[in-house]
Structure 1
Amino acid sequence: MSNASEIIAKLWTMANKLRGTMNASEYKNYILPFMFYRYLSENQDEYLEKNGLDECYDVTDSEEKEDYLEEISRGIGYAIAPEYTWEQLVSKIENHQIKVRDFQDMLDSFNLNAKRNPVAEADFANVFSDINLGDARLGSNMSERAKVLNDVVLMVNDFTFKDDSGHDILGDVYEWLIGQFAAGAGKKGEEFYTPHEVSQVLAKIVTKDSKVDDTQFRVYDPAMGSGSLLLTVKNELLDGDKSGNVDFYGQELNTTTYNLARMNLMMHGINYRNMNLKRGDTLNADWPFAEREGMQVPLKFDAVVANPPYSAKWDIKDVNREKDTRFKGYGVAPASKADYAFVLHGLYHLDKTGTMAIELPHGVLFRGASEGKIRKNIIDSNLLDTVIGLPANLFYWTNIPTAVLVFKGREARRTKDILFIDASSEFVKGKSHNKLSSENIDKIIETYEKREDAEKYAHVATLDEIKENDYNLNISRYVDTFEAEKVTPLPQLTQELANVKQEIEESTDKLFEMLGELHRTTDEAQEELQKFMEMLKK
């Protein structure tokens, strides 16, 4: 296999043959973790070879083995015992020496060794918890389940995840598979995946004018899903690929999705020391923060990105309007719609020179009541920078159009106006959903950077304009995309009608001549034909 697209095509075909009675969202809990286990095992092999520790796999003394495992854990954050390496797993399967119980022993061993390094424990603990070896859909008995698991392992082992130049593309293949599983999962796909081209729009915006030098770039996603948005931000940074230059923070409520994110980032080469991911309810309690003199101080970020669940319900009973400083001075979002709760949480963690881009349904632009008050307070605080309307049907799970809201830290805002971009009509139509082309994305970003009016596409609205519209941010109020129907001048219309009449008369005469030349027409038929032709001429 020479490139990612070839590997992906074959891997997906093989995966569909193995999937059996499971739907896509469930089957991912087997194929993706085994891809990750292979990555961890081979990464450990490389570490041992690089540090001259290859002999540890041959050690039989228990104490010496313990020392090796401790040393490995200190170096890479985890340790895989010699008997449970990927090479050993494949060998057992090929020699018909493995049982379902062996898979469980392998995972138990990994979880035990993950506790050796306290700094990395949170990154690796229970990362394989979604592999359910007792699931009846794997098979009705232990033998059938073992066969399915064996087939998955051998399928994952069948590929060399490097391109022709030797570049590792395992992370790219893994992320593409996440997208494919999201497409097959329908609405459930929204829990773990944001389409790449949408992620690019957000990532390009928050990294504009940003460069990683001696200072780490810090990015936070409070609803990170599988972590693809965080990785896209890294890819847009000038020096983002340099190890350790970007610090990643993310939080996710769903345990399965949280596991996907941990695996996704690590398979893209992110060191556990730069990965600060947490499973938890972002809105229920504030995170991330630092402890200083017994006080919780919110961490601030150069970039905040998010594509949170749209208009989700949330529990506001325990929200203390005075003590929860995330919402103080702005208001509390209604229990039926948490959109502005995510906005305010993100703003709370945005550095004074940072940028936040968050994707939300259009309702946040114009809904009233408590949301209207929050919107007014944010605008009056001069934090909202840009509103971008995207096309409908970009996602696998909904066909509604969405909007990207861009916020700037107080020191990053240089004006009090707000840029409106209507990109809703520019997309590439697909079979099941629409896509943004590279040209569509480039136009959005160029317009964002220029910050100028563009006919039927963009408008820079003054604060007075916003106030005149009662802080309603509906894009159509600021960007006029109305296409007037073309009016044909009366003289031109009269001439066109005359031309049509003449063409009809000429065609009728020609038809009459042709019919009149027929030799077998009766007198009665000729009479009827004459009446018909006279009627046409009228």
Structure 2
Amino acid sequence: MTEEQKRQLEQQLWNIANTLRGRMDADEFRDYILGFIFFKYLSEKLLAYANEILSEDEIDYLDIPEGTEAGEEIIEAVKEETVAHLGYFLRPSELFSQIAERGAAKGKEGVSTFILDDLARILSNIEKSTMGTESEDDFDKLFEDLDLTSTKLGRTEKAKNEVIVKVLTHLNEIDFELYKSDSDVLGDAYEYLIGKFAAGAGKKAGEFYTPREVSTVLARIVTTGKQRLKSVYDPTCGSGSLLLRVAREAENPGEVEFYGQERNRTTYNLARMNMLLHGVHYTRFNIRQEDTLEHPQHPLNMRFEAVVANPPFSANWSANVTLESDDRFSQYGRLAPGSKADFAFVQHMLHYLDDNGVMAVILPHGVLFRGGAEAHIREFLIREKNWLDAVIGLPPNIFYGTSIPTCVLVFKKCREHPDDILFIDASGNYGKAKNQNYLREDDVERIIATYRDRKVDIKYSYKADIASEISVENGYNLNIARYVDTFEEEELVDLGAVTAELAALDESMIKTDEAITNFCAELGIKAPV
């Protein structure tokens, strides 16, 4: 598929999404559209695999007569194979194309066939087909946000049905090209839609979506110098886009294992769908739902080569005294303040970082200079551990829902350059969209090149000596402006030239006044004073 065809597909899907615009908020109709796209994907994936199994017997899965002894025997055999291989099962009559076509069939009065009850049953059956299997956790309540009884779809059952049929019919006309083994067109289109919904969802969006360009920066940083990446972990994984971006930057994307945790149930469902839509087998991702800081769901003895996150900025957390003995926080001697969990996320992530790993986290600028417990933790990380490798200042207004200044902190437990910390001020390099700033491709490339080569670039980057500049001169204050001088001197004013110009203006005004006086005299009127 060409880039133009890809853009057309993305626009088609967005147009279909707009079928529900005006009926509900962006983050609500997102759940319906993305859920139906996912259902279509599961159906096409299963149909292709089922037909592959049945090809030797020259049987088409859609032609199997359900309800007959012979037909049910074949279906049961297919079920056993697909649950083991794909993790789920759908009967021929439950496939997306079949339910969409049934809905599109008009009755005598020109009314669409009622399919809402069947559709709800089918979505439930997908989840039930995984019960007791290895994939059960990955499909559990995956469609719970697809509420087909919501009055936002319509005031009557007939109205709701008409809307859903319209959406399914439009989606049924699109070819996702799943038969192309090297194609990730649908995954890319899904990412596109997530971004579009994030742009329209206000402050809620910041909790689940990291702009692609920023994700690319983090992904390239944590994959620097790694020929093969075994695992990546995101403790606030949102829709899973950042995890997937890391794998895309790795040299072995098809082997990377994904670990993540997300507090919001709806976003947790979105992350699991996103993984499967990108062709990630259910055995290669482990996404869990809970509050990361209070209830980590991955064993505390696990370690990951790459750790990334875009945590909610300055969020509240319990900072309960019982956590002082938690292995993630105990060595620091202080907990992050309850009103600002930024460093709590840093401590949590560092606990899971392997000795040969790299960690990149997006945080508000305040973590660089705030006092109290945060200053204590900041100093401990640099003076006692020497894990901070780089500080990167990002442009303003590049995240949905907030315009506050942000930065990327890069950590390594085994640093190649233990005597200094690299500071990059990329805050002035960006493009401007209608309501949002963004990193351009050249901006991303410059950040990565500077980080990888640890280049010192006047007014852009600087390597600060830890022993003298950071500890003695600045008391572990990491405010980027202290290290990267971006001050632009104003051009010197030539006072002689300015004086001459003013004199010339005065002379010109005298001549102008004389001309006006002469004109007034000719007209017989009083000249202006």
TM over 0.5: yes
Contact 1:383 1:407 in 2 (8 A): yes
Taking the aligned partners of 1:507 and 1:206, their CA distance within structure 2 comes to 70
Contact 1:422 1:475 in 2 (8 A): yes
Deviation at 1:413, TM superposition (A): 3.7
Name the CA shift for 1:471/1:160 in 2 (closer, same or farther; >3 Å). Answer: same
Name the CA shift for 1:473/1:168 in 2 (closer, same or farther; >3 Å). Answer: closer
Among residues 483, 491, 496, which one is paired with 1:491 in the alignment?
496
2:119 maps to a residue whose letter is F
Please give the per-residue CA displacement for 1:415-434, whole angstroms capped at 9, x wherever unaligned.
23111111112111222111
Matches within 5 A, 1:440-479: 440-463=443-466, 464-467=468-471, 468-479=473-484
2:11 is matched with which residue? 9
1:424 is matched with which residue? 427
Taking the aligned partners of 2:432 and 2:512, their CA distance within structure 1 comes to 42
Please give the per-residue CA displacement for 1:261-309, whole angstroms capped at 9, x wherever unaligned.
11111111111121111111111133422xxxxxxx5221111010001
2:305 maps to a residue whose letter is D
1:161 maps to a residue whose letter is F
Taking the aligned partners of 2:422 and 2:124, their CA distance within structure 1 comes to 54
Taking the aligned partners of 1:491 and 1:98, their CA distance within structure 2 comes to 86
Among residues 392, 395, 398, which one is paired with 2:396 in the alignment?
392
Matches within 5 A, 1:103-252: 103-115=119-131, 118-162=133-177, 167-212=183-228, 216-240=229-253, 243=254, 245-252=255-262
Name the CA shift for 1:4/1:510 in 2 (closer, same or farther; >3 Å). Answer: farther
2:263 is matched with which residue? 253
Secondary structure (helix, strand or coil) at the match of 2:411 reads strand
Please give the per-residue CA displacement for 1:336-382, whole angstroms capped at 9, x wherever unaligned.
11111110111111111111010011111111111111111111110
Contact 2:127 2:136 in 1 (8 A): no
2:485 is matched with which residue? 480
Percent identity over paired residues: 43
Secondary structure (helix, strand or coil) at the match of 1:504 reads helix
* TM-score normalised by L of structure 1: 0.89
Please give the per-residue CA displacement for 1:108-167, whole angstroms capped at 9, x wherever unaligned.
211110225x2211111211111111111111121111111111211222322359x994
Taking the aligned partners of 2:176 and 2:215, their CA distance within structure 1 comes to 24
1:263 is matched with which residue? 273
Taking the aligned partners of 1:318 and 1:471, their CA distance within structure 2 comes to 26
Name the CA shift for 1:509/1:343 in 2 (closer, same or farther; >3 Å). Answer: same
1:448 maps to a residue whose letter is Y
Secondary structure (helix, strand or coil) at the match of 1:3 reads helix
Deviation at 1:397, TM superposition (A): 0.3
Secondary structure (helix, strand or coil) at the match of 1:364 reads helix
Of the structure 1 ranges 504-513 and 43-52, higher mean CA displacement relative to structure 2 is found in 504-513
Deviation at 1:50, TM superposition (A): 2.6
2:98 is matched with which residue? 88
Contact 2:243 2:258 in 1 (8 A): yes
1:198 maps to a residue whose letter is V
Secondary structure (helix, strand or coil) at the match of 2:505 reads helix
2:243 maps to a residue whose letter is L
1:7 maps to a residue whose letter is L
1:24 is matched with which residue? 26
1:46 maps to a residue whose letter is A
Number of matched residues?
508
1:346 is matched with which residue? 349
Q: Which runs of 5+ in 2 are unaligned?
A: 106-111
Among residues 324, 334, 339, which one is paired with 2:337 in the alignment?
334
Secondary structure (helix, strand or coil) at the match of 1:421 reads strand
Contact 1:352 1:412 in 2 (8 A): no
Q: Which runs of 5+ in 1 are unaligned?
A: 290-296
Deviation at 1:17, TM superposition (A): 3.5
Deviation at 1:318, TM superposition (A): 6.0
Among residues 58, 62, 65, which one is paired with 2:75 in the alignment?
65
RMSD, aligned α-carbons? 2.2
Contact 1:249 1:277 in 2 (8 A): yes
1:292 is matched with which residue? none
Name the CA shift for 1:496/1:12 in 2 (closer, same or farther; >3 Å). Answer: same
Name the CA shift for 1:506/1:445 in 2 (closer, same or farther; >3 Å). Answer: farther
Deviation at 1:56, TM superposition (A): 5.2
Name the CA shift for 1:82/1:473 in 2 (closer, same or farther; >3 Å). Answer: same
2:232 maps to a residue whose letter is V
1:293 is matched with which residue? none
Contact 1:251 1:280 in 2 (8 A): yes
Deviation at 1:55, TM superposition (A): 4.9
Contact 1:427 1:434 in 2 (8 A): yes
Among residues 312, 317, 320, which one is paired with 1:309 in the alignment?
312
Contact 1:161 1:168 in 2 (8 A): no
Among residues 273, 278, 302, which one is paired with 2:288 in the alignment?
278
Deviation at 1:448, TM superposition (A): 1.2
Deviation at 1:199, TM superposition (A): 0.9
Deviation at 1:200, TM superposition (A): 1.2
Of the structure 1 ranges 456-465 and 279-288, higher mean CA displacement relative to structure 2 is found in 279-288
Please give the per-residue CA displacement for 1:19-55, whole angstroms capped at 9, x wherever unaligned.
3420110001111011001111111112122333655
1:371 is matched with which residue? 374
Of the structure 1 ranges 440-449 and 96-105, higher mean CA displacement relative to structure 2 is found in 96-105
Taking the aligned partners of 1:33 and 1:14, their CA distance within structure 2 comes to 13
Please give the per-residue CA displacement for 1:154-184, whole angstroms capped at 9, x wherever unaligned.
1222322359x99441111111111111111
Contact 2:47 2:61 in 1 (8 A): no
Secondary structure (helix, strand or coil) at the match of 1:277 reads strand
Deviation at 1:488, TM superposition (A): 1.1
Among residues 311, 323, 340, which one is paired with 1:320 in the alignment?
323
Contact 2:257 2:284 in 1 (8 A): yes
Contact 2:369 2:375 in 1 (8 A): yes
Deviation at 1:471, TM superposition (A): 1.0
2:493 maps to a residue whose letter is T
2:42 maps to a residue whose letter is L
Residue 420 (structure 2) pairs with residue 405 (structure 1):
no
1:342 maps to a residue whose letter is F
1:501 is matched with which residue? 506
Secondary structure (helix, strand or coil) at the match of 1:302 reads strand
Contact 1:383 1:413 in 2 (8 A): no
Name the CA shift for 1:421/1:168 in 2 (closer, same or farther; >3 Å). Answer: closer
